[in-house]
Chains A and B, each alone.
Chain A
Amino acid sequence: MATQILMPALSPTMEEGTLAKWLVKEGDTVQSGDILAEIETDKATMEFEAVDEGVIGKILIAEGTENVAVNTAIAILAEDGEDIAQLEAPQASDAGNEAAPLASEAPASAAAARNSAPEPDTSPDWPEGTQLKQQTVREALRDAMAEEMRSDEDVFIMGEEVAEYQGAYKVSQGLLDEFGSKRVIDTPITEHGFAGIGVGAAFGGLKPIVEFMTFNFAMQAIDQIINSAAKTLYMSGGQMGAQMVFRGPNGAAARVGAQHSQDYAAWYAQIPGLKVVMPYSASDAKGLLKSAIRDPNPVIFLENEILYGRSFDVPVLDDFTVPFGKARIWREGSDVTLVSFGIGVQYALDAAEKLAAEGISAEVIDLRTLRPIDYDTVIASVMKTNRCVTVEEGWPVSSIGNHLSATIMERAFDYLDAPVINCTGKDVPMPYAANLEKLALVTTDDVIAAVKHVTYR
């Protein structure tokens, strides 16, 4: 049976082209792969190959013809032995029109929730009367990993200096002794490579904890984190993903200069497919890390070097976890809402303390997780205080604070008595000099000044 040879689409964007030259003539026998014609697209001249074998019956479009639409019949291919003279020029094919465009559909929007007062989950993190102990963030993180490794053989940790050195920041101290070198693995200094091996191991069903000595070095591995870990579940139609944790210190330490002092919270929070955690306290570090290890998705767990040695109350419970997407209210207040996460919470709490002395009552919210974000707790608070200041260490452009400001505007515009102010790190690379570094960071004084601005004091 004769088949039509159609004007091909030779690039993702081609809609029409010039049939520059025929390399066959009527009556020629062609094999699959033979060059039939040269076709000019807007980008290049391309050779057009035969897909089927047969005899060129009729050439329908003469060479030199311009603006030939994709899918126009340009020739007829007869099977061997078919009578060429019988062939008729067909009507224009509509084969290409089969792929109907996707119906556009508005995405689920926050608009539905606009101006309705949310009812956030305000349940306590642990039952009243639970015994508490003082523990550093560092110890809490180690305990979380050890507990999860005890209960699940598939959990292992890999990274630079995690085993014999006991952790560059001593977070993995003691893990090698308890779990051995099969599950506590020192890697070479090769972030791109070992992050990729970690993701592959997760595809293979293990639950890796990949430690970056600091998140600054994860820049080397960013492709594996985003393109491989975060997107595979979606690209595979739900067949496989990466249950794993990428963790390590993030943000400024002290006097280590521009390349070692950066807060990546907003970067990772932008990526669908990732979950992003940034704890402040030891109990949150523990409870959230245990949740992160159990979560079936890739989790970015952003720690802070300065907080590692800080002690907090941690509940003495056999299996203490903190759920994602539930903010913590550290301090209730009525005049202004301070929203922060990670070490920013410290600045917010210090500011709230000083503001209280001046008669300003600040509510302090610790988001704890940035993907998902507990919008409801923020919105409910802003509806009560009518003012909001966000606090974070990262840069101002496209910050978490920017995103919260937009959300508050969408959902609680009528409740605002002042514009939301974002307190952030300054828009400069981190300087080394002690005085300049201090100026570059967000400070308690910045927060106090912002609060006075929004409360018109």
Chain B
Amino acid sequence: MAARRAAKKTNVSGEELTQFYRDMLLIRRFEEKAGQLYGMGLIGGFCHLYIGQEAVVVGLEAAAEEGDKRITSYRDHGHMLACGMDANGVMAELTGRAGGYSKGKGGSMHMFSKEKHFYGGHGIVGAQVPLGAGLAFADKYRDNGRVTFTYFGDGAANQGQVYETFNMAALWKLPVIFVIENNQYAMGTAQMRSTSTKDIYHRGEAFGIEGEMVDGMDVLAVKDAGERAVTHCRKGKGPYILEVKTYRYRGHSMSDPAKYRTREEVQKMREERDAIENVRQMILEGKHATEEQLKTIDKEIKAVVNASADFAKESPLPDTSELWTDIYA
């Protein structure tokens, strides 16, 4: 494993830290609320929560510029909030209402925003990887300097199409950043039981793709690595792999009894490595904000999340005529 690069913590401003805190907390509170609404039967079907992994998207979004694209799997709520999509629209999609991003027709796993360059929201493990390379293909075709963040998990990293894509992305020097969100469990199968190599990003070497391991519980390290990846892509050097080691506190989906890992393992991660708590400590230790000020932020976030839940409950069901729309353009 390449040495983990320590983030340049000295260069970070209090303002930036506070923004990270705010963005990560929004995702966590939003997901907790989604879990709650699921428990109440307001959200149905599959619902994959992002709790624990917040630093990954928040760190990488800090490295992105306007016009850059992003695409991910079905564990997508965090990505949407991080790229600036509206919490109301996301929550209303979770409840299957007309006010949702897909008018209630997509659900938790299928949301999109052309405006925020968010291309889904894909339910088939690994399928978003060639799609992301295709978005990058379009950018290269237009020579517009944009990059595409293509997120997938350690589970998806064993899909054949990922390596088909690595090959073409390297061959055609596509400006795509492959972000492997390694939360260490492919649903219920630990990485060591599913994956022949310890460090997945090494697999890029077979295709001549540079990559690195990143501490995904450290938002500053993620941002730092994201900037290196973005610079690499924008220089026309082709794809780059970031294997971001992270951890999901909740089950794979809502109906996961989580017998494949111990409660102690989860608890230890939450207590020792939690990304939000880490930033909170940095803010307090650096005297960038007081406890009181952070509490105010907490309250603001809670208000945003509660408002999104209210919106998602009050938004009407899609009109029955919507059954027949959007099949053809």
- Chain A: residues with CB nearer than 8 A to chain B? 6, 8-12, 14, 32-33, 35, 41, 43-47, 49, 51, 70-71, 95-96, 98-100, 102-103, 105, 107-108, 156, 182, 187-188, 190, 192-206, 223-224, 227-228, 232-241, 243, 272-273, 275, 296-297
Contact = CB atoms under 8 A, between A and B. Distances in A.
A237 B255 contact: no
A416 to B, nearest CB: 30
A240 B326 contact: no
B130 A224 contact: yes
A35 B276 CA distance: 20
A191 to B, nearest CB: 9
Interface in B297-329: 313, 317, 320, 323-329
Contact of A203 (B101, B135, B161, B270): B135
B165 interface: yes
A196 B141 contact: no
Nearest to A43: B255
B171 A188 contact: yes
A10 B254 contact: yes
Contact of B38 (A9, A45, A193, A241): A9
Given A33-B270, A201-B137, A236-B106, 15 more contacts: A10-B39, A47-B257, A188-B171, A192-B130, A193-B165, A196-B161, A200-B119, A200-B133, A204-B135, A206-B141, A228-B127, A237-B102, A237-B105, A241-B329, A297-B329
Given A198-B134, A272-B327, A234 B105 contact: yes
29 contacts: A9-B40, A12-B44, A12-B46, A33-B270, A43-B257, A44-B257, A47-B258, A51-B35, A71-B41, A95-B42, A103-B320, A105-B320, A188-B167, A190-B164, A192-B161, A193-B161, A196-B131, A196-B134, A197-B134, A201-B138, A204-B138, A227-B124, A227-B127, A228-B131, A233-B327, A234-B327, A236-B110, A273-B328, A296-B328
A33 B249 contact: yes
Interface residues of B, number: 75
Contacts of B100: 237
Q: Is the interface of A mostly helix, strand, loop or mixed?
A: loop
A192 B129 CA distance: 11
B22 interface: no
Contacts of A198: 134
A12 B45 contact: yes
B313 to A, nearest CB: 6
A255 B324 CA distance: 44
A96 B114 contact: no
A289 to B, nearest CB: 18
B66 to A, nearest CB: 16
Nearest to A9: B41
Given A206-B138, A228-B131, A240-B114, A193 B168 contact: yes
